[in-house]
Structure 1
Amino acid sequence: MKIQKIDIIEAVVPFEDGGTGMGVTPTRWHTLEFVLVRLETDSGIVGWGECFAYSCRQAVATAARTMVAPLLQGRDLPATPEELSLELQRKLHIFGRYGITMFAISGFDIALWDIAAQAQGKPLSAMWGPAQRTEVSAYASLTRYGDVALVDKYCRQAMEQGYRHVKLHEVDPEVIRAGRRACGPGIHMSVDVNCSWTEAGALERLPVLQEAELAWVEEPVFPPEAIAAQANINRRFPVGAGENACTRHEFARMLEAGAVAYPQPSVTKVGGVTEFLAVVQLAGQHGLTPMPHSPYFGPGYFATLHLLAVIPGAPLPEPLFEHLYIQPHADLALGGTPLPLQGKVQIPTAAGLGFAPDMAVLERFVV
């Protein structure tokens, strides 16, 4: 079986979140940017992947078209994609080991795994052994509001919808406290500050995090590769980190330094399914549960659900699915994306990822 045709598709879908969209990304964040990878084999199997593309869509799409695609066109496909994916990393490492290059490779790796699973007539999760679960608890991952009233509103709304897990993206102690008051006791809460603090600033805020009874603080310091600072904080309060880490090797450094309590690989950034699975294995060796980073919609969303099917749980904490708490103007998935219902998401059971785009919808938003 060979790769016969490669398409890189860009799309932009607006969304609503009830806020200003300011505070996390360089400019206002109010659209979902997609770089989709479509691989078609000579036997007619079509695999789909997704490259991380928020605020960098054009650069990622160019890397996918001009750097990765030429290396795969016409290639014979092995039964599983690991070696082919690692070959891509080796051939492209001098053009940027991490960041844009790895975002592009991630999308192709996801598509290759989709093909491999379809060729065997299995859901992707079945490629890695017995499933640990058929559904997973989701947390409402709120965008940054920087506003007590809005955080109160959306935390309460999430509770009414059945969520029992919430993540804020706030840096103001009063806004964080407002989130806890709105959710009430017994609700699993965390906060992602997106590398907004210094080490000293993070340590000063630990009493607020403890008062709010947070499960973890995510990416507390800049830069995200400041492993020693992160480890110092992690000794005092649980740290979640890894959305900015690419490949198993960056995670290995964090784990060996004791810099993370909840490793957070992002399948569209880390190097796809291949690297994500390696991170799961490393985390298990350290007795830790991965809590994937997944604030996106598309093949990456579906791939994350399949990966969550096989991440070990009890006696360790059960893994959670990050669901970006927004309202996109459209759903690209044919038949619909499996969304949380009463705080739970069903893991797809169709062969491969279970994702195919609704072409009529995609055509409305394609760039």
Structure 2
Amino acid sequence: MKITRVVTHFLSIPCTAHTEHAPLIGGREWTHFDVVLIRIDTDEGITGWGEAFGRARDLPLKAVIDTHIAPKLIGKDPTQIAVIKKQLEFELHNFGRIGPVAYGIAGVDIALWDILGKRAGLPLYALLGGKYTSKIDVYASLLRYGTVSEVERITHKVLEEGYRHIKLHEIGIQENLAARRAAGPDIPIYLDVNCPWDVRQAIDASHALAEGKFGWLEEPVWPPENYAGIAEVRRRGALRTAAGENAGSAADFKLAFEAGALDFAQPDLTKTLGISEAIRIAALADAYNVAVVPHNAVYGPGLLATLHFNASRPDTPPLERLYFALEKHPLSQALEPVNGSIAVPETPGLGFDPDPEVIERYSVGVSELAWS
């Protein structure tokens, strides 16, 4: 089997954040959700689909995949996943170990696992050693709303929709505590603050938030790779700590574990070099007695890969799902949670391919990618 073609599809899908005013990303209103798909075709007629993390009309990401990564794949045996991943990492490491190159490699890795599963006639979870559950709990990953009233409204809304886990992105103490009051004492709530504080501020905030009994405090300090600082927050604060979506590889997680920084490791399969690296990170986390709860901020093949990966873990961590309403989903099966969970697909590979009609309708050309 040989790879014959690699194509990237950049989709821009209209979305709403369930609020009157659109949130901001990159200084612009977030009215469209970007989806970066990687399609890998083979000479045996098997096609694999992957997804790279992309935001804010990321023209450099598509250029990196098309010019640096895709040409290196032609003629390769797609079942040689570890060999291909190592080659791409080594030959492209001068372009950075986190960012567009890593995201592109992650998308390729997911597509190769999809091919392997389809060729074997097995769902991805079977290739990972089996599944511990047939469905995974989902947590609604809310955006940052900035007011107590809006946080309360959205919290009630997601609970009415059947979610039983919530993640917040608020920074204000009162906004976060408002979500706890709205949800009641029994709903698990996690808190991601996206690196806003120095160590002293983070420790103080952790104590101020303690009454909310949040499941974790995610990325409390700037910069995100300040593992010594996160470790200090973990030691002196009042909440357990989580991080990892901005780590580049297992080597970065090893530094975090050695520093004693984390209770929860959060590799993102569309950022941190794909499924293959997530396997390595999970094994390392197990050795350090750190729980693994992958970060997810996509809706396509990356979400499916994370779903299978979580099902293959003994503790079956919940799946993160951004709380947007997309006009159309990249997958014809929208994978909307039912009673707060999503079933693990049983069909070969990832389980579903992206919807060709959605690709055709929402694809964005290179000339349209850059914001003016």
Of residues 284, 307, 316, the one that matches 2:286 is: 284
Once the 2 structures are TM-superposed, how far is the Cα of residue 56 of structure 1 from its aligned partner? Answer: 5.4
Q: Deviations over 1:271-299 (max 9, x none)?
A: 01111111111111122221111121111
**Structure 1: which amino acid aligns with 2:321?**
H
User: Retained in 2: the 8 A contact 1:50–1:106?
Assistant: yes
Give the direction of change, closer, same or farther, for the CA distance of 1:187–1:266 in structure 2 (3 Å limit).
same
Q: How does 1:144-293 map to 2 (within 5 A)?
A: 144-235=144-235, 236=237, 237-293=239-295
Q: Deviations over 1:322-348 (max 9, x none)?
A: 0111111111213x1322111111111
SS at structure 1 position matched to 2:33: strand
**Structure 1: which amino acid aligns with 2:185?**
P
Of residues 363, 368, 372, the one that matches 1:366 is: 363
Tell me the TM-score normalised to structure 2 length: 0.94
**Structure 2: which amino acid aligns with 1:272?**
G
SS at structure 1 position matched to 2:215: coil
SS at structure 2 position matched to 1:204: helix
Is 1:126 the counterpart of 2:126? The answer is yes
SS at structure 1 position matched to 2:292: coil
Once the 2 structures are TM-superposed, how far is the Cα of residue 203 of structure 1 from its aligned partner? Answer: 1.1
Over the residues paired in the alignment, what is the CA RMSD in angstroms?
A: 1.3
Q: How does 1:80-91 map to 2 (within 5 A)?
A: 80-91=80-91
Give the direction of change, closer, same or farther, for the CA distance of 1:277–1:26 in structure 2 (3 Å limit).
farther
Q: Which residue of 1 aligns with 2:5?
A: 5
User: Retained in 2: the 8 A contact 1:10–1:57?
Assistant: no
Q: Distance in 1 between matches of 2:265 and 2:77?
A: 34
Of residues 303, 306, 309, the one that matches 2:305 is: 303
User: Retained in 2: the 8 A contact 1:35–1:57?
Assistant: no
Q: Distance in 1 between matches of 2:76 and 2:196?
A: 44
User: Retained in 1: the 8 A contact 2:17–2:23?
Assistant: no
SS at structure 1 position matched to 2:28: coil
**Structure 2: which amino acid aligns with 1:105?**
I
Q: Distance in 2 between matches of 1:254 and 1:56?
A: 31
Q: Which residue of 1 aligns with 2:33?
A: 32
Q: Deviations over 1:179-224 (max 9, x none)?
A: 1111111110111111111111111112222111101011001100
**Structure 2: which amino acid aligns with 1:226?**
N
Q: Distance in 2 between matches of 1:266 and 1:30?
A: 23
**Structure 2: which amino acid aligns with 1:257?**
A
Q: Distance in 2 between matches of 1:50 and 1:355?
A: 13
**Unaligned 5+ residue runs, structure 2?**
365-372
Q: Which residue of 2 aligns with 1:109?
A: 109
Give the direction of change, closer, same or farther, for the CA distance of 1:265–1:63 in structure 2 (3 Å limit).
same
Once the 2 structures are TM-superposed, how far is the Cα of residue 264 of structure 1 from its aligned partner? Answer: 0.5
Q: Which residue of 1 aligns with 2:68?
A: 67
Q: Which residue of 1 aligns with 2:320?
A: 322
Q: Distance in 2 between matches of 1:29 and 1:201?
A: 29
Q: Distance in 2 between matches of 1:361 and 1:128?
A: 30
User: Retained in 1: the 8 A contact 2:147–2:175?
Assistant: yes
Q: Distance in 2 between matches of 1:347 and 1:357?
A: 17
Q: Which residue of 2 aligns with 1:338?
A: 335
Q: Which residue of 1 aligns with 2:370?
A: none
Q: Deviations over 1:142-165 (max 9, x none)?
A: 011011111111101111122221
User: Retained in 1: the 8 A contact 2:247–2:253?
Assistant: yes
**Structure 1: which amino acid aligns with 2:349?**
G
Q: Distance in 2 between matches of 1:77 and 1:145?
A: 44
User: Retained in 1: the 8 A contact 2:301–2:354?
Assistant: no
**Structure 2: which amino acid aligns with 1:310?**
S
Q: Deviations over 1:116-161 (max 9, x none)?
A: 1111110011002121111111111101101111111110111112
SS at structure 1 position matched to 2:29: coil
Q: Distance in 2 between matches of 1:27 and 1:191?
A: 24
User: Retained in 2: the 8 A contact 1:289–1:312?
Assistant: no
Q: Which residue of 1 aligns with 2:367?
A: none
Q: Distance in 1 between matches of 2:197 and 2:24?
A: 14
Q: Distance in 2 between matches of 1:238 and 1:27?
A: 33
Q: Which residue of 1 aligns with 2:347?
A: 350
SS at structure 2 position matched to 1:323: strand
Q: Which residue of 1 aligns with 2:48?
A: 47
**Structure 2: which amino acid aligns with 1:118?**
K
User: Retained in 2: the 8 A contact 1:248–1:278?
Assistant: yes
**Structure 2: which amino acid aligns with 1:324?**
L
Q: Percent of counterpart pairs with the same letter?
A: 37
Give the direction of change, closer, same or farther, for the CA distance of 1:25–1:291 in structure 2 (3 Å limit).
farther
